[in-house]
Structure 1
């Protein structure tokens, strides 16, 4: 048991998990804000929450560099911090949103599905031209059979794909290594 605790007692993991937790909670607060303003909080309106991910990934890299790395941060450390913060934040937000649409207000999910179907019908001509009538019908019916539990993996997969470039950029910006080992003195 001590070895498991010692494994998770690394500063890079603790800081990343804490910032990931904060990210997930803030994204859920953003979701609740959209809900309270009577905006469908899923779908295209929710995409703006990715800014929270970017800000907290940058904050975690800055904090680690300042407090743990004594001004230094390797690229691999920044990449690790970025992906852990992003993944944990997406998982926590996904679960909180899932619990909300399952136990508190299921109409949010049904409104979201209705909005998706309306958008698909509005762009039906273009979609049929690109993918064909049969594939459109399959995709349209797939929207109706979507389960609430898909919100969690949808959140994680979208945030993972969206975060690739920002995490690389943030990692390169905050990266600072000690090159004193490579100089001949």
Structure 2
């Protein structure tokens, strides 16, 4: 039950890192909103893992709890692997990516300063701006894991409901 989703998670993490490198080689800062499309890789691989498990391991059957477990393991392992690979790349290969990312975030925050100050106040805005300046590269790992976990809740439920197949399911073939 764990070996298959861990393998799919490892493959997904490497694919997400390859997507990161693709964006990097296109000359775009591969952090932040530019990287968000990599979640599609997570969704495709979670669905593939459920499909494969149902077909090969479950002999055509997949319980909801199995699908949920498979998807969460794939997503978590992939986020962990991708987070570490990105962190290592940003730390040892090209540290300027991180400084450019922080500069883009600061510029974006400055652009919306009037609206933010009106909504949250000057003190909170100053805290937000300071937190960007104090951000550490190691936060890439935890950021990757936490964002992907939150983003995956609805897709995991949908994938699990679509791929579940029990002997009393709607899509069960009758003899």
TM-score, with structure 1 as normaliser: 0.90
2:109 pairs with 1:120: yes
Runs of 4+ in 1 over 2 A off after TM superposition: none
* Distance (whole Å) between structure 2 residues aligned to residue 23 and residue 59 of structure 1: 11
Deviations 1:6-25 (A, max 9, x none): xxxxxx20110000001100
In structure 1, C-alpha distance between the alignment counterparts of 2:29 and 2:85, rounded to whole Å: 16
Secondary structure at 1:179 match in 2: coil
Match of 2:11 among 6, 17, 22: 22
The DSSP-based 3-state class of the residue aligned with 1:178 is coil
Query: Shift in Å at residue 130 of structure 1?
Result: 1.5
Whole-Å separation in 1 of the counterparts to 2:150 and 2:119: 23
1:50-69 equivalence runs, <5 A: 50-69=39-58
TM-score (norm 2): 0.95
RMSD (Å), alpha carbons: 0.9
Partner of 1:4: none
Rounded to whole Å, the distance in 2 between the matches of 1:30 and 1:109 is 17
Instruction: Report the equivalent of 2:98.
Output: 109
Quote how far apart the aligned CAs of 1:179 are: 3.1
Runs of 5+ in structure 1 lacking a partner? Answer: 1-11, 181-185
Q: Displacement of 1:66 after TM fit?
A: 0.2
Q: Residue by residue, what CA displacement relative to the aligned partner does 1:72-101 show, whole Å, maximum 9, x if unpaired?
A: 100000000000000000000000000000
- CA–CA separation in structure 2 for the residues paired with 1:151 and 1:53: 17
Gaps of 5+ in 2: 170-175
Kindly tell me the number of residue pairs found equivalent between the two proteins.
Answer: 169
Q: Quote the Cα distance in structure 1 between the aligned partners of 2:3 and 2:65.
A: 16
Show the counterpart of 1:161: 150
Structure 1 CA distance, aligned partners of 2:142 and 2:122? 28
Matches within 5 A, 1:21-170: 21-170=10-159
Question: In terms of mean alpha carbon deviation, does 125-134 or 147-156 score higher?
Answer: 125-134
